[in-house]
Structure 1
C-alpha cells in the first residue's frame, strides 16, 4: 500500500486481512465486543456503550478513550453506521455525517473459516491529527503517512488478537 503524497482531505484508508479458523458467527462475537477492544490495542484505553446500548446496532453509540505518545489523551464518541450480522460492523468517529474516521470489520466465510478484514478511513471530519497538521502544514503528507502506518500496524496486532480469541 502506498500513502506517499496523501493529504488528510484525500480521506486516506488502509485495510488489513487475515483468515481465521472459526465460523463467522464466532468471529462476529469477538469483533462486536467493543468493550474488549482495549485489551487488543496499545492506543485504546477503554470503551463503553452509551445510552443504555449493550451491543451493536445501527445508531448505537460508544465512547472510546485513547492515549498516544505524540497525540496525548482523548475521548471520542463513535456511532454504529453499519451492522449486518455476521458480515459487517462499522462505526463513524465523532460525527456520522462528517466523521473524523470510519472503522469497518468485514467477515466472509472462506475455506471452512472466516476471512476477516479491518479497514479504516481517516477524515474527512477534523480529528486530533488535524491539530498536528494545523501546527505543521508543510509536514501534512508526512504526518498522514506516519499515522496510516501506525493504523496498519495497530490493525495487524488487533487482527492477531481477534484470531487467537476466535480460534480458542
Structure 2
C-alpha cells in the first residue's frame, strides 16, 4: 500500500525474527542512532521513560546526513506491542509529520514496514509539490537503510 496520495510513503523489509523481537528495536527510540542515516540519537523527554501513547521524546537529526543538525520534538501516537509504533514530529500545537513502524507476522518472521506521512496543510502540500519527489527518494532510501540495519541486528 503506497501512501503517496496522502503525502507519504513506506518501505517493507521481511525479517527472520518474531514481531516481539523486532518490537524491541522499533519502540526503543534511544537505539535509533544505530539504524537511521539521519537521526543519530534520541532520548525520552518530559518525564517519559518508554514507549506508550502520549510519551515524549526528542530525536537529534542531521538532515540528509549532512546538516543542518537539530532536535525534533516527538510524541508517541500509537503503541501496540508487537504491532505498531507511531509518533508525531512537531510542537504541541503543530504536527509536521508522522513516522512509524507496522509489524506483521509472515512465514515464520515479520514484515516490518516503516512509513511516514505529512500533514495535509496547504504549505505542506506546496512543499511536497516542489520538493516532494527529492525528499521522498531520500526518505525511501533512509527507511530502507534503517530497516536493513535493524534486520542485521535482529537476525544476528
For residues 72-104 of structure 1, give each alpha carbon's deviation from its aligned partner in whole angstroms, at most 9, with x where no partner exists.
122111000000011000000014674211011
Given the two structures, how large is their TM-score scaled by the length of structure 1? 0.80
Structure index of larger Rg:
1
What is the CA RMSD across the aligned residues, in angstroms? 2.6
1:165 Cα deviation (Å)?
Answer: 1.2
Higher strand share: 2
1:141 Cα deviation (Å)?
Answer: 2.7
Aligned length: 153
Q: In the alignment, which residue of structure 2 is the partner of 1:165?
A: 153
1:29 Cα deviation (Å)?
Answer: 0.4
Whether the 8 Å contact between 1:53 and 1:60 is mirrored in structure 2 is yes
Q: Within 5 Å, give how 1:41-56 maps onto structure 2.
A: 41-56=36-51
Q: In the alignment, which residue of structure 2 is the partner of 1:15?
A: 10
For residues 115-164 of structure 1, give each alpha carbon's deviation from its aligned partner in whole angstroms, at most 9, with x where no partner exists.
1101101234699xx6xx5xxxxxx6341110111000000000001111
What are structure 1's unaligned runs of at least 5 residues? 4-9, 134-139
Asked if 1:154 is matched to 2:142, the reply is: yes
For the residues of structure 2 that align with 1:162 and 1:118, how far apart are their CA atoms?
Answer: 11
Residues 79 and 112 of structure 1: CA distance in aligned 2, closer, same or farther (over 3 Å): same
Residues 125 and 34 of structure 1: CA distance in aligned 2, closer, same or farther (over 3 Å): farther
Q: In the alignment, which residue of structure 2 is the partner of 1:79?
A: 75
What are structure 2's unaligned runs of at least 5 residues? none
Given the two structures, how large is their TM-score scaled by the length of structure 2? 0.86
